[in-house]
Amino acid sequence: MPSMAAENSDVSKAEQIKLQANEAFKAHKYSQAIDLYTQAIELNSENAVYLANRALAHTKLEEYGSAIHDASKAVEIDPKYSKGYYRRGAAYLAMGKFKEALKDFQQVKRICPNDPDASKKLKECEKAVMKLKFEEAIATPSSEQHSVAESIDFRTIDVEPQYGGARIEGDVVTLEFIKKMMHEFKNQKSLHQRCAFQIVMQTRDILMALPSLVDVKVPDGKHFTVCGDIHGQFFDLLNIFELNGLPSDENPYLFNGDFVDRGSFSVEVILTLFAFKCMSQSAIYLSRGNHESKSMNKIYGFEGEVKSKLTDKFVELFAQVFCYLPLAHVINQKIFVVHGGLFSTDGVKLSQIKAINRFCEPPEEGLMCELLWSDPQSDPGRGPSKRGVGLSFGGDVTKRFLKDNNLDLIVRSHEVKDDGYEIEHDGKLITVFSAPNYCDQMGNKGAFIRFEAPVMEPKIVTFSAVPHPDVKPMAYASNFLRMFS
């Protein structure tokens, strides 16, 4: 049994480490803060503050499952600790679980009846739940839903004589048009709705015809570039093109999901990527990420941005087209590229992935969910997801999947990394993330990977963030979420 002096020493050490963790958090070094809070918790496991602080750091890294776990432990230790409920409520909100969040904010209000901030957040949460109930009440059964695309004929939309922006002549999206469009986006000008409709509708037709798993062939002597999350950071996308050239048949790219949300130039990003797809199907490949979904777009800004820059009809159209995005790619039969990660069971074959019916919103479990949401872990085996969706998988899981499918490497995205990339699982898995200084606060680099056939060794290029106009990330996000960002 430890002596009183030893216990006091541990408590004192834990408090010192907590102060170091707080400084790391203030410097936006959230992973370091989590490690330090963990050390403090190991020394003093009955301190609810340490757990609530670690929950907040997890939230900053979008590890909402871990945040909920820590906040729940905090309120177990101290049922009257309002910050525990507050942190858990914020994590539930970020996951779109409004009803669970509402219960936590009601508890915060009970504990702190005179706290104006708690009252404000409770009111916003109540509004979100009421809106959700209303939408559920008026929703059309899926069997009766009609495609919004069927009601759109972009050819009937007139372009006003005074419009001096980029125009698509006829049915062909040209490089000249895309260059002019990107230049105007750079100067914060809008694209005419007729052109925007044409780009999205043509992309829809292209994506519909693709399988859920796309095979890519890179001829000997040619190269291929894979980019990770862009998250609406249009000016960093332009920088990638400056560094590595524009997409073309001779300079093809794969963008590995999460094109939109958080960054406030998501409309510019998606129209640019879609326009290149219309220009040449082999110049650019696009894979679905977990943020190409209605629920994420409603919370993290894309829906609000589309309504502001285009029209409400585009919200439904983008939601539909996102359902047509492929879920994974295999390059030269050796490199498996997917947004999130692997599966809760062994033995999954590429043929099973190709057979997934992807034309829907992402489910909360199953192969499609795991492809979009899962993350690697350093420990072998499988573990619960730190995000609260999907799972965590170890190097042994990676190696078995590669062996079962005669593959050499997994490339995935989905996680911000300080250097823009991370090599894990004995070199068999690479995470690539292409949104530098994510959300204008993480201080990370961006990266992309170039492969050259036939060897296909990954060459990783890193880059820093470039300036952008003074429109903050999450500018179009839901009111209640902006309160916590």
Cα gap 48→73, rounded to integer Å: 8
Provide the pairing of β-strand 429-432 with 409-412. parallel
367: its two tokens: 């192969």
Tell me the three state secondary structure of residue 150: helix
Residues in the chain: 485
**What are phi and psi for residue 114, nearest 5 degrees?**
-105, 10
Q: How far apart are CA 478 and CA 465, in angstroms?
A: 25
* CA separation for the pair 359, 322 (Å, rounded): 9
Q: Which two tokens stand for residue 179?
A: 């260059």
CB atoms under 10 Å from CB of 445, counted, come to 18
Cα(400)–Cα(395) distance, rounded to whole angstroms? 9
Tell me how far apart the alpha carbons of residues 446 and 221 are, in angstroms, rounded to a whole number: 26
Catalytic member of 192, 291, 414, 468: 291
Helices (H), 254-311: 266-279, 294-300, 302-309
CB contact set of 289 (below 8 Å; sequence gap of 6+)? 229, 256, 257, 258, 259, 339, 340, 372, 413, 414
183 catalytically annotated: no
Q: Which residues are the active-site residues?
A: 291
